[in-house]
Amino acid sequence: MGKITVTWKKSTIGFPQDQRRTIVGLGLKRLHHTVEHDDTPSILGMVNKVRHLVEVSEVAEPAKRSLQSTTRTKASKKKDETA
């Protein structure tokens, strides 16, 4: 399951109340506000309902780092202390 970002691009003035509630339901607070959601069927349905008011893009997954590169060895700790 991926993630999507939803950005509110157009005002809801003049649009039906249910579309305004959908914008609020997506967690958007003001114009040009961006939120991140999982791409579940319910979220995608909400986005589809207000697709003329929002901009949607997929989030690129960050590369996973190996555990070895994040842990420090005793030798590197000693080297830091002597420096």
Look at residue 45 and give its three-state secondary structure. Answer: helix
Per-residue model confidence (pLDDT) at position 1 = 76
Domains of the chain: 3-61 (3.30.1390.20)
Q: Is-above-0.85 flag for pTM?
A: no
Q: Considering only CA atoms, which of 65, 28, 62 is closest in space to residue 47?
A: 28
Q: What was the pLDDT predicted at 72?
A: 62
The span from the CA of 60 to the CA of 50, in Å, is: 23
What are the tens digits of pLDDT across the range 35-76?
999 999 999 999 999 999 999 999 987 767 665 655 666 666
Res 60: pLDDT: 84
